[in-house]
Amino acid sequence: MAKQTSEPASTAVERQGSAVCRIALIGFGTVGRSVAKILCESGNPSLRLTHICNRNVQRKKQDWVPAEVVWTDDVDSVLKSDADIVIELIGGLNPAEQILRKALESGKSVVTANKQLIARCGPDLLQLAASKGCQLEFGASVAGGVPVIPALRTGLCGDRLHGIAGILNGTCNYILSRIENARVPFSEALEEAQARGYAEADASEDLDGGDARAKLAILALAGLRTRVEPESIRARTIRPVDAVDFDYAADLGCTIRQISRADLKEGTLFADVGPCLVPSDSPFGRVQRNLNLVLTSGQYGGDMAFLGAGAGGDPTAVAVVSDVMFVAQGLAGGKRDVASDVSTPGISSDFETPWYLRFFVRDQPGIVARLAQILADHHLNIDSLLQKPGFEKASLPFVITLEPCHDSQLHPALERMAGLDFAVRPCLCLPILR
């Protein structure tokens, strides 16, 4: 075992032959605890946990952590230590960004699961890491234990990817698949997800697409080499989806999932997050409960799929430790991750797809004719009309599907429809992905 010294962390690059990689863990919550346990129980002689940093650290101490590990609430002391790798698991933007920058500036490599930080600052942090001869890995920031980020950055880097789509939020997928399987109301499915610990008390970030679009921005960075501000990606909520929508979707051979998608075409990134109709027998249609799925499309390698548990302490911890081992191998071998050049494309949500329009109306003569006229005025072609019997005339659901058209063509028509006197609820407009 290599002898510990007090040399500055900035000289870690020069000690490429060192037998031991020293690791400092900042954040000892659910994931941090699992990471520490894996590191302590792995028996890997090349990895040594040296520091655990957390607020109120005295209450966090565990007897299964080796006695030589330093417990502290002083982040600066960790950053000034001889640790080679800093694991950041506190989340959020502040003070996480300052911690990462200080660690990289001092020549320490960093592993993080912080999706919000990587989504917003990833390109700049990667450039900083490269300039300091160290590494920044963030495989756990998307899809938990599913190794999609390492695959994008290494396994698929020889391909030219042009498309990424995924089920990236386990909370939404649980709720939608629960409505599908039990035909329960949205509110009941949400309450069940909260009771099972899949959803927070305030689940807005999940339900309204904020979580998924931050993850999509990271996937676009890692796979499409594009710089995307998460807020520039349109996010649509799943809240209006009703059990009856799954009945109509089934008639179309489909189901409904929250899909995050990004396609790079001629310098424009078409990106969107929200509920979509997908074929029931497709990879997306078969994903149930809180699993995640990512599909990539490449010029040479074609389509690839990554499926697995997208959340939870242990799966996410496995992704973190895998990143740590990857960094440690790079330190030992003198290899450095080079930040790829990234482009800053224009962002658009103007996809061309077929569309599903679901209406709740007060039944009266001429409804279909008035809707058809509005659609015709905007040069939109109806593909089918579906109406199930047995509903009250005061709140009657029916569906119109449209032939492929651009989002920008459709929305002026929807604005006109919103003012019609027979509408009981706003029209639910969902893309149909084939």
Query: Is the CB of residue 138 less than 8 Å from the CB of residue 112?
Result: yes
Count other Cβ atoms within 10 Å, centred on residue 137: 26
Exposed, middle or buried: residue 166 (CB in 10 Å: 0-12, 13-18, 19+)?
buried
Residues 6+ apart with CB under 8 A from 223: 152, 156, 161, 164, 296
Residue 256 to residue 287: CA distance in whole angstroms: 11
95: cis peptide before it, omega within 30°? yes
Beta bridge partners of 259: 274
Of the candidates 89, 86, 94, the residue with the CA atom closest to the CA atom of residue 120: 94
Query: Is the CB of residue 134 less than 8 Å from the CB of residue 21?
Result: no
Distances (CA, A) of 291 to 144, 179, 401: 10, 16, 29
Question: Tokens at residue 117, please?
Answer: 């930080």
Residues 6+ apart with CB under 8 A from 365: none
Query: Is the CB of residue 313 less than 8 Å from the CB of residue 30?
Result: yes
Could you confirm whether 215 is annotated as catalytic?
Answer: yes
- What are residue 242's phi and psi, to 5 degrees? -115, 160
The 3-class SS string of 379-392 reads: CCCEEEEECCCCCC
Of the candidates 432, 410, 425, the residue with the CA atom closest to the CA atom of residue 256: 432
Count of positions (residues) in the chain: 434
- Catalytic site residue from 60, 115, 132, 215: 215
Dmax (CA) for the chain in angstroms is 86
Which DSSP category does 81 fall into?
S
Residue 295, SS3 per DSSP: strand
In the block, tokens 């592993």 appear at: 111
Alpha-carbon Rg for the chain in angstroms: 25
Residues annotated as part of the active site:
215
